[in-house]
Amino acid sequence: MSTIRLALLICDDLIPPLKTIHGNYTTIYHHLLSSSLARITSDVTFTLDGYDVVKDMAYPPDSARYDGLLISGSRVSAYEDVEWINKLIAYVKRIITEKPSLKIFGICFGHQIVARALGESCVQNHSGWEVAVTTIQLTPLGKAIFGSDQLDIQQSHLDHVPTCPPNAHLLGSTDVTPNHGMVIFDPALASILAELDSDTPCLNVPLTSIHVLTVQGHPEFTESIMTALLDARVGLLGEKLVKEARLRAGGIPGRRYPDGLACDGVGRVGKVIWDVLGVV
């Protein structure tokens, strides 16, 4: 039985009501990864080591041999000029350049940090918040990667990345957020992919050729987590938005998901994370 070694850069702490019920960020991401892995194979195990990049400004040592690195969400804005965010951006920029064999996954704030590390901007979205399960319209490349025409995933963001950095390829968008995820392929494929854009109908390369994968949403959030977040953020979001979002905390009404899941976070995004890591 093989073991995949993963590191998680923890960019926030859960609010007390959530932490009491669901544990810390490492626990939540472990649940996402184990739930999706169980649907693929029983012949692979994994470890997940958490590094607090906010309070401790801790990072994996260069000597550590990880297969993948995940960058979590956060309540703060990725464009803030503070020491730990600047250090995180510099670190991500360095490992993308120096460690092409290390798979990198950015989730929400992590997606925005990857974009900033690659020279793109992150700004507040004047179109407003996206919260609870939201349908993302996938590009042809996104459809090929996720095996679906669209992706339903939990959201909790006001900030966004308006466009894709150079050499990154768009996965999907909504009317509110134009960049809902992106991929960067192995540098060895650069010459082959030079002409690739989001309208390319199919990409005949294995998902293991993906070096960086990001999503603006939260595949790690469950219905319970989202409901608790909405309850805690009524003052921030407003009663009207929270009332409407509660209807989608367990998925798009009338839409059925495999195995009784609330959305595509585990069944599609989680699966693709393992696909990129070479677990099929």
The answer to whether the beta carbons of residues 10 and 72 sit under 8 Å apart is yes
Q: CATH number for 2-276: choose from 3.40.50.880, 3.30.70.3040, 3.20.20.220, 3.40.50.1820.
A: 3.40.50.880
Residue 105 has pLDDT above 60, yes or no: yes
Identify the band that residue 194 occupies on the pLDDT scale cut at 50, 70 and 90. Answer: low
**103-120 mean pLDDT:** 98
pLDDT in tens, 3-39: 999 999 999 988 887 777 888 899 999 999 999 999 9
Residue 201 has pLDDT above 70, yes or no: no
pLDDT in tens, 207-237: 999 999 999 999 999 999 999 999 999 999 9
**124-136 mean pLDDT:** 97
238 alpha carbon, distance to own chain's centre: 26
The answer to whether the beta carbons of residues 69 and 99 sit under 8 Å apart is no
How many CB atoms sit inside 10 A of residue 209's CB? 15
The answer to whether the beta carbons of residues 107 and 71 sit under 8 Å apart is yes
pTM for the model: 0.94
Query: Any idea which residue has 């069944």 for tokens?
Result: 267
CA–CA distance, 57 with 53 (Å, rounded to integer): 4
Output the pLDDT for position 234.
Answer: 95
SS3 for 273?
Answer: helix
133 alpha carbon, distance to own chain's centre: 14
| Mean pLDDT (the chain, rounded) | 92
Residue 5 amino acid letter: R
Identify the band that residue 193 occupies on the pLDDT scale cut at 50, 70 and 90. Answer: low
Kindly give the interhelix angle for 223-232 and 239-246, rounded to the nearest 10 degrees: 170
